[in-house]
Structure 1
């Protein structure tokens, strides 16, 4: 739909006048400082198209070189800037030198598994094996508990390090203190000002932390903790040049956790990811190599491999299988065991997809009736598997462009309980709203960060919760409308889509949260060919008015307005919105358009 009065909330017009595309989105051109574009192109020796992509992401001319060649030395923070970091490092070295038994308590997702694996491997380097504990998602839920700490103490642990959890576990940490168990917390989740009684609590999102690194995943915080451990070991004289661990041996784990936790790939996160993917692509890590083989990954690693092929398989253990499979795979040196676990995780991932599809269908049926009326959408169902509700919430959030919470109910429990997981859209702080609902007494527990959160609730209070969140988030959603517009980095002709351009744009990788993959618009195109492929994908050819053509694919769109428009292959004109992707077939490299949106264009 073209707008006769095309003005957005920030005063800029929608791109090509598209105020409502076939997917219901507005299109905008990313703004870039023109003087920065010119300077970046000249100083870095890159064409204007890449310079504009860099500038449009807020990168200054002075920072462009570091952006194009991200190095840890340029962005690595001083570990001492983190509250309690040096204290935690000293406590760990005290335990190592006194030979006190240690254990690592890890969350059951990729961020938790990769954080735990870094610590386990670090301790192993000094011949100090540590116990590992990953709670069962269904039986124990998220985070540490008093019972889990008692189990670890009974297994001999005298010092426990929690990773990717613990910062809000007041009751559990109070219980640990009561039984004389020392606990160090390594976390990144939002927390309130009240500090739980941990021996040390390292979290860049604690109120008094001055590091400025609140965007780190737990795997990134853990990687920096390893640097603090190395420094403390050197200070004590325990670490020498002959025995100092090379932290780059584990940067692939830090990168995997960073990518899969969908934190912004900016600053040190970008450097960890860029360097970590290079290390990952050598496939020297046994567990990652076995997972790559199981998922069909070959050659160099990228964010797609990490986030959509390897990561989901590690997650599958915690979602629908054994919660400790991922951490075990990432720490084992036994090739036979690694291959067995990788195969098991691959099978569990297939099972997870089937369960997820059933829950998504049921949740979608509930939400379609309320989508137009509410600022937040909440679906709840009896027996919905808690291991997939977060993924389903993310999928439905993308469909409706609103925060979504999916709750699995267990009314047979005593007392009945609902466990929910939510995903948000840019500009709407869902984790903060869930925490506020918890503080208001509407939840049994809950919290998270801006883009995601989890909760436990009495099923009889869900209606009350929805009303509370709807009222709280409506102003945020209205203010965020402009942020949810699709943003293009430029307008291209069909003739301008070349393999050279696609290769060039890869210099801005790694792409992800905070560094979106470049998108472009092709104006006034006709569909000359379209065919449904796979379950619901559409392959197509678009042609411009001069007869130049571009091939492409649109994923999971066959039964949407976009897919219907493609498959109709009528004489009408469309503006096309998408990404340029390199494809190698029979040794020949070509570029395709991965279509994400269409808008009707005037004849």
Structure 2
């Protein structure tokens, strides 16, 4: 390790090539020492643990999170006991039921858990997933009427429903009983339903607001087991072992980009262990078609499995993901996985075209790149990929981004937004709806969706820019790169990577370790297909470190790497490099600074 102290920013970097100051991730010195002594950790690893807010007496639980230690009482969720009672009553009465799911990974993994629990109890539940193009997000009066007309008496909504006031009012009117399992932000008004379980429901004392719907669904399974046990339903039959479905709960937590803290961290950590056995036929088939391998990690869930599962809801049939995760038929799983893999390839092409057009719009519109919010709209953009494009724009401009695809025939624009830490986009979109600027809208702090009349888009842009100006300004001031440790090119090896992996799983609330290398030189720079840049970094110690910067070719960062001019400070995340059995590492570059102009 090297000394990273500096007068102005870490390594003196107060403004990098992405416009950020570098900072040493802050940690309490006494807590660092106590972690070292109690857990036998190196100083950098103990510092990383302390900097993530782990108290001196919480290190062991953090490094080895267990469900036994962190599982919440299901009864602490408002309506959880009521939901379990209603569903067990329906099971005993053999009432016709349907699971109504959102079309993303969280919805699919939530639905699959409930379907699998009821299957273990001898009852097969159908899944209804609305079509993104023709039905839009979440429950609608039309969808509920269709379900009721088919003879269904009870619907369980997962990852949706908490804010579907019109649809839930319709359900009550037509005699369709509804149990809502959700995690999205909602208004103070509580819809009249059989039960509404949502840790983000006003007044819910569970303290589990960071959970994805898949996490809430897993707690529901525990409540169902408890209710069924209390009624003697397991006398003479085996009780469903919920641990076998932890992989689905982890998948939803990771792909919905939830805070990996507390119980949610334990759920994810244990779920990845279960996933690593690849016993779910759908997940195994998807891994095979993607040519993946090895024990499951956040990368598998977030970058191999998740995008393919989402592809069905984005540009294909919306129920493919839920069907894949809930099937026990290996042949069906293989067929569904192949279809999703092909759809994902098509999705990438559509996304690339829209992103290129969106960047051109931003660059040519006066002050767009400098505004608090990047908002772009165009006719014909596919609503299934605009959320991904919004994420790419947020990464590029480091501020909230909202992308709207306009359907002129229907006279409506469908928008999807992604936010920057410190800017609550969902709350702003909700305010725009209450202001009468939107047909529909909602979400959470980091993501939001909306529907708007095309002629209202300029007013919406003005409203959101005004609403978010102060938050965006404050977030920009705080937008620095936090460094965990300074390493040499030769010191960034598999041993260092393995040591810091003890902090995994990584995600919001537990950021992946960020390493900096100082005064390295770039060798063999190469622009790759897709705009990526690959280099080898060398320093005075004689070490060499392979590195890659994703989607960087047309940025200042990428141009600096390709130019190969002089020494650079480089920061990034270590990734395993097992090509041809070498068991090495490479650096995934996050940022670059020129030491000659770091101020």
Counterpart of 1:475 in structure 2 is: 470
Post-superposition offset of 1:241:
8.0
Checking the alignment, whether the CA contact within 8 Å between 1:106 and 1:132 is kept in structure 2 is yes
**1-structure distance, mates of 2:235, 2:547:** 55
The equivalent residue for 2:31 is: 36
Partners of 2:405 and 2:414 within 8 A in 1? yes
Written as runs of structure 1 = structure 2, the 5 A alignment for 1:142-541 is 142-240=137-235, 242-368=237-363, 369=365, 370-413=367-410, 416-541=411-536
SS at match of 1:481: helix
* Deviation for aligned residue 1:555: 2.0
Give the superposition deviation at 1:539.
2.2
Please state whether the residue corresponding to 2:156 is helix, strand or coil: strand
Do the aligned partners of 1:233 and 1:239 also contact (CA within 8 Å) in 2? yes
Which structure has more relative contact order (CA 8 Å, sep 6+)? It is 2
Contact kept in structure 2, 1:106 and 1:134, CA below 8 Å? yes
| Pairing 1:563–2:563 present | no
Instruction: Return the offset for 1:240.
Output: 4.1
Unaligned runs of 5+ in 1: 1-5, 8-12
- Contact 1:503-1:582 at 8 Å conserved across structures: no
- On the 8 A contact 1:184/1:198 being kept in 2, the answer is yes
Aligned position for 2:51: 56
Query: Where does 1:28-177 land on structure 2 (aligned, <5 Å)?
Result: 28-177=23-172
Select which of 561, 565, 573 maps to 2:567.
573
Kindly state the Cα deviation for residue 208 of structure 1 after the two structures are TM-superposed: 1.3
Question: Which structure 2 segments of 5+ residues have no match?
Answer: 1-5
Per-residue deviation, 1:541: 1.9
State the distance in 1 between where 2:451 and 2:442 align.
Answer: 10
Compare 62-71 and 537-546 and name the one that shifted more.
537-546
Shift of 1:399: 0.5
Q: What is the Cα deviation at residue 545 of structure 1?
A: 3.0
Q: Which residue of 2 aligns with 1:589?
A: 583
- What is the TM-score when the length of structure 1 is the normalising length? 0.96
Shift of 1:269: 1.2
State whether residues 426 and 483 of structure 1, in contact with CA within 8 Å, keep that contact through their aligned partners in structure 2: no
Q: List per-residue Cα deviations over 1:273-319 (Å, max 9, x = no partner).
A: 11111111111110000000011111101111110110110100000
Q: Residue 317 of structure 1 contacts residue 345 of structure 1 at CA under 8 Å; is this kept in 2?
A: yes
Q: Deviations over 1:18-53 (max 9, x none)?
A: 122112222111101111111111111121121111
CA RMSD of aligned residues (A): 1.4
Structure 1 residue 239 displacement after superposition: 2.7
1: CA distance, partners of 2:407 / 2:255: 29
| 1-structure distance, mates of 2:346, 2:544 | 40
| Residue 553, structure 1, aligned to residue 548, structure 2 | yes
Q: Which residue of 2 aligns with 1:19?
A: 14
Partners of 1:538 and 1:207 in 2: CA distance: 47
Give the TM-score of the pair, scaled to structure 2.
Answer: 0.96
Query: Distance between the aligned counterparts of 2:579 and 2:90, measured in 1?
Result: 55
Number of residue-to-residue matches in the alignment: 590
Over residues 202-232 of structure 1, what are the superposed CA-to-partner deviations in whole Å (9 max), with x where a residue is unaligned? 0000111000111000000000000011111
User: Distance between the aligned counterparts of 1:46 and 1:551, measured in 2?
Assistant: 27
Following TM superposition, by how much is the alpha carbon of 1:588 offset from its aligned partner in structure 2, in angstroms? Answer: 2.1
- Name the SS of the counterpart of 1:593 in structure 2: strand
SS, match of residue 494 in structure 1: coil
Instruction: Give, in whole Å, the separation in 2 of the partners of 1:138 and 1:148.
Output: 14
Conserved 8 A contact 1:15-1:29: yes
- Once residues 307 and 301 of structure 2 are traced to their aligned partners in structure 1, the CA distance between those partners, rounded to angstroms, is 9
Distance 2:477 2:220 in 1: 38
